[in-house]
Chains A and B, each alone.
Chain A
Amino acid sequence: MAKKFRITNNIRKLRFFADEMTQQELAEKAGISRQTVIAIEAGKYSPSLELAFRIADAFGVNITDVFDYETKTEIRGGKA
């Protein structure tokens, strides 16, 4: 049995509720490139704690409303 950790995010949903904020607008607010926003949104990159706070700040919400921490336990190839 091995534990796997994964960081998920609600950026797409939050952008929608923020009057369909574009990725470029979010990038400008968080001080990052649009490519990084795309990567984070797609779960291809886990941002640093500082950047995670900046993204949460851009939406005006708590960091836990943007990012979530999932724990998965894998049992011999299967997932639990």
Chain B
Amino acid sequence: MAAYCIYAFGKVQSGMIAPDDMKFWATTILIFIGIGVIASIVIQIVFHLLLSIAIAVRKQMQEGKCDDKEVEKTIEQEMVEDEMDKLIGLKSIRIGFAIAGIGLIATLVSLLLNYSSAVMLNIIFISFSIGTSVEGVTQLYFYRRGV
């Protein structure tokens, strides 16, 4: 999101793009959504790789040998999703969507105050991004503090 703000608002401030050029905003937002999706997939793959390596190294140090099947079994055990995970997920999604909802209302208010459609689009995108980030932070908080 920080990259989006720096790129998009930088371009507008430099005067290359008109602030109400909707095609520019739509393209930029779509590109950054794509980047976000790809980044999250890459992060998950890297995380799984690091986890496998960490488990293999730990097993090697503890038992002096390491079997691929054992590593897979340990990962499966670590990745079990149970009722607490589901509850935490639901609670954090609720908070995330509350923020997105506030953004939507802010969008409507901005239209009432005669701001341009570009402002509306940005508020929606930014509020959804913040909502998603808050969702992640809330999940961490609930895992630490308990539900």
Interface residues of chain A, those whose CB is within 8 Å of chain B, are 24, 27-28, 31-36, 39, 42-45, 47-48, 51
Contact = CB atoms under 8 A, between A and B. Distances in A.
B77 A45 contact: no
Interface of B: 77-85, 143, 145-147
Contacts of A34: 77-78
A32 B77 contact: no
23 contacts: A27-B77, A27-B80, A28-B77, A31-B82, A32-B82, A32-B84, A33-B77, A33-B78, A33-B79, A33-B81, A33-B84, A35-B84, A36-B82, A36-B84, A39-B84, A39-B146, A42-B146, A43-B146, A44-B146, A45-B146, A45-B147, A47-B83, A51-B82
A24 B77 contact: yes
A10 B21 CA distance: 64
B103 to A, nearest CB: 31
Given A35-B143, A39-B146, A45 B84 contact: yes
Given A33-B78, A42-B146, 8 more contacts: A27-B80, A28-B77, A32-B80, A34-B78, A35-B84, A36-B85, A44-B147, A47-B84
Contacts of A43: 146
A37 to B, nearest CB: 10
A32 B85 CA distance: 10
A57 B127 CA distance: 46
B145 A33 contact: no
Q: Give the interface centre of B80, B81, B84 by most chain A CB atoms within 10 Å.
A: B84
B85 A33 contact: yes
A61 B86 CA distance: 27
Nearest to B145: A44
A58 B62 CA distance: 27
A69 B52 CA distance: 41
Q: Give the interface centre of B78, B80, B85 by most chain A CB atoms within 10 Å.
A: B80
Closest 4 CB pairs of A and B: A44-B146, A32-B82, A33-B80, A36-B84
Contacts of B79: 33
Contacts of B84: 32-33, 35-36, 39, 45, 47
